[in-house]
Structure 1
Amino acid sequence: MIVNNSLEEVKKRENALSIIKNKVENNGRSSLFDLTGLSGGFIASPSDINLLETYVGPAIFEEELQIVGKEHMGGDKVLPLNRTSSGILATILTLVSKDSNVVHYLAELPAHPSIPRSCKLVGANYSETDNFEEFSIPENTSLVVITGSTMDHKVIDEDEFKKVIEMAHQKDIPVMVDDASGARLRTVVFNQQKACDLGADIAITSTDKLMPGPRGGLMAGREDLIDQIKVKVNQFGLEAQPPAVLAMLNGIKNFNGNNLINSFERKDKLFELLDEKFDNFQKTPTGVMISPEGLSKEIKIENNLSENDLAFVFSFILLRDYGIITIPPVSMPGASATIRFDLSTTDAFKLHLNDLNKKIESSFIKLQEVVSNEDECREIVFSF
């Protein structure tokens, strides 16, 4: 094993950021191709930036964020947060009591780790399932959670989405939707309704996922619940600061759903190219991906690495040699190690698909050259 715990995941991320920094300093930003789908951005004019003071910023930008945020998410009120995980934590701190039940339905396991971790923090009983026939809401349930689109972009069936909300509301239990990427992926690509329009009491999205916004979270929903959660958010310092609020506002204003739609055609082409040499790449709504399990099946050389380790080494080779940023090198502890090549990003449209295919193939060849040498693999992941 190369990456054994959360601390090593942090060290892995630090190495990835060092590689990125070095490439930018030596070859410029154009040497990098962020294909994570989480590239985000910070759109701001000089006049906006001059207003980013502790109290002036919120006074100027939060009111307008209420308008554009509700248009984007639905609901009665929105609340900007420093992370989507912060909103999940604040919601569970507010609505979930010790020894009560939290049940979670999603299209494919596992859930984002922030949800079970938050439940553990308050002493709640947490369960999750991706089998709708097995989903039920036991007595003493304080919160029902739905994931709109998983970490690997598996999108929930809208009919099942509605039924889970109905089941919860029949028992007067609030529903929180983790719609990190789903707020755009579900609505733009799959033509589903906004979570709040489907009846969710609270929905949370990540403002850097599939949109040009900052790393942050935006919560929408019932005004009474938003107000209660906002108290916890302010008590624990989970609120978005003025620069993030401004960037959220402008990120939503500049969101272009056509990029998601255009990536549909490009992903088919890339998948066809990769399918000539590989057996385990899969399509996503906006690109292609290979899971750790799938990557392991592609490796024909004996090795002692875990499936996740293989994904880390492969993704670091892509970053080191070709400046291709995927999620595994830069992810937070507990995130999926699936390697996604998201074609909806600005950087993706700068890459010719044949060229991207060759870079992926070349990186895989290099992976096979080092995979039997654990020390060399560890060097790739941890040492710049």
Structure 2
Amino acid sequence: MIVNSPLDEVKKREKALLIIKDIVETKGRNYLFDLTGLSGGFIASPSELSLLETYVGPAIFEDALQEVGIGHMGGEKVLPLNRTSSGILATILTLVKKNSNVVHYLAELPAHPSIPRSCKLVGANYFETDVFDDFSIPDNTSLVVVTGSTMDLKVIDEEEFKKVIEMAHEKNILVMVDDASGARLRTVVFNQSKACDLGADIAITSTDKLMSGPRGGLMAGRKDLIDKIKIKVNQFGLEAQPPVVLAMLNGIKNFNGDNLIKSFERKDQLFELLRSKFNNLEKTPNGVLISPDNLSNEVNIPHNLSNDDLAFVFSFVLLKEHGIITIPAVGMPGASPTIRFDLSTSDAFNLDLNDLVKKIESSFEKLLEVIQNEEKCREIVF
């Protein structure tokens, strides 16, 4: 295998960032096309930037974020965090007891790795399933977790969502919702209710997913729980700093659901254009994806790479040859190796879909050229 440890994933990401830096410095930002759906952004005026001091910033922007964040997420109070994973960790540290159970329902396995990792830290027993009939809540359960939209953008059925919350509350068990992209994808594209409005006690979203905000997390929910979790957040330095809070505030203010609707409509066109070349693509709500297993099915040349390595190499070819940024190249350790072409980003709006298809097809041909040379593939990734 080429990428077979978290350290390899870190080194892979560092290499991808160097490639991005080189493209920006030698060709310009216009030669990059971020199709991860995580492109984020930082919207701020000069007058706002002048207030980004250690104590002035939180006094101004955290207070303003309360109203805007509750409008976006629901709940009684919001809490800005440096990552969604930080909020998940702080919640589990606060609410989950050692040797108790945490059960998790989501539309498709696996869960984001921050959830089982956090459970392991506190010594809790963790169970996850994507089969509703198999979901149950055993005795000695501290927390029920629901994922609104998976890492590969599979969205939960709202009726199942409600039933899981009801099952938990019947046993007086708290519910945390990992709504990283779902806080926008579920509500805008699928017309579902906000997690807190469905009865979730705590919900967490990523402020760089499907919106022009910073890489950060925003938690919403019951005031008493937010206050308890905030203690752990501050104890472990998991809170969002003033620049991130400002960017969250303006990102939410400027969020435009019409962009998601537009990408939802364009994804059918992209899918049809690619079908002449690829047989194993899948649609997402706002783009097209190919999983490592399906990418392997597209390759009819014998090779010794794992399916995940195929995806990593393909993502680096896309980046090096055409400036297309996908998650397998730049993702954090544990991120999904599925390649998504997300059409909700500002870069995607500026792309002609016929031109994008040519770039993808060209990159696939390059992948076929190098696939039998493992050392060449290693060189491409590292």
Q: TM-score w.r.t. structure 1 length?
A: 0.99
- Work out the CA distance in 2 between the residues paired with 1:266 and 1:162: 30
Q: Structure 2: how far apart are the matches of 1:91 and 1:136?
A: 21
Query: Does 2:210 align with 1:205?
Result: no
Secondary structure of 1:39 counterpart: coil
Runs of 4+ that moved beyond 3 A? none
Correspondence 1:326-337 to 2 at 5 A:
326-337=326-337
Distance in 2 of aligned mates of 1:317 and 1:277 = 17
Q: Aligned AA for 2:225?
A: L
Q: SS in structure 2 opposite 1:80? A: strand
- Output the amino acid matched with 1:362: S
Question: 3-state DSSP class of the match of 2:143?
Answer: strand
Q: Which range moves more in the overlay, 258-267 or 173-182?
A: 258-267
Cα distance in 2 between the residues matched to 1:314 and 1:302: 16
CA distance in 2, matches of 1:50, 1:329: 35
Distance 1:82 1:259 in 2: 25
Deviation string for 1:255-302 (max 9, x for gaps)?
Answer: 010010011221101100111111111100000000000000000110
1:72 is matched with 72
Give the Å deviation of 1:33: 0.4
Which residue of the partner structure matches residue 165 of structure 2?
Answer: 165
2:305 counterpart letter in structure 1: L
Q: Distance in 2 between matches of 1:286 and 1:239?
A: 31
Distance (Å, rounded) in 2 between the aligned partners of 1:280 and 1:315: 17
AA of the residue aligned to 1:185: L
SS across alignment from 2:337: coil
Task: Provide the aligned length of Structure 1 versus Structure 2.
Answer: 382
Amino acid at match of 2:102: V
Q: Distance in 2 between matches of 1:86 and 1:265?
A: 34
The alpha-carbon deviation at position 28 of structure 1 amounts to: 1.1
Residue number in structure 2 paired with 1:45 = 45
Q: Does 1:319 align with 2:319?
A: yes
Q: CA RMSD in A?
A: 0.4
Q: Which sections of structure 2, spanning at least 5 residues, go unmatched?
A: none
Partner of residue 85, structure 2: 85
Unpaired segments ≥5 residues, structure 1:
none
Separation of aligned partners in 2, 1:18 and 1:264: 32
Task: Please give the alpha-carbon distance, in whole angstroms, between the structure 1 residues aligned to 2:330 and 2:260.
Answer: 23
Identity level (%): 80
String of CA shifts for 1:21-60, please: whole Å, max 9, x gaps.
0000111111100000000000000110000000000001
Secondary structure in 2 matching 1:126: strand
Instruction: Give the secondary structure class of the aligned counterpart of 2:239.
Output: coil
Deviations 1:188-228 (A, max 9, x none): 00000000000000000000000000000000000000000
Distance in 2 between residues matched to 1:245 and 1:370, nearest whole Å: 44
**Helix, strand or coil: the match of 1:200?**
coil
Distance 2:67 2:26 in 1: 42
| Letter matched to residue 248 of structure 1 | M
Tell me the residue number matched to 2:136: 136
Q: Which residue of 2 aligns with 1:5?
A: 5
Cα distance in 2 for partners of 1:237, 1:280 equals: 43
After superposition, give the CA deviation of every residue in 1:362-383 in whole Å (9 maximum; x if it has no partner): 000000000000000000000x
3-state secondary structure, aligned to 2:17: helix
Secondary structure class of the residue paired with 1:156: coil
Deviation at 1:71?
0.1
Supply the distance in 1 between the matched residues of 2:206 and 2:28 (Cα, whole angstroms).
27
2:235 corresponds to: 235
**What one-letter code is carried by the residue in structure 2 that aligns with 1:148?**
G
The within-5 A match list for 1:220-231 is 220-231=220-231
TM-score norm. by structure 2 comes to: 1.00
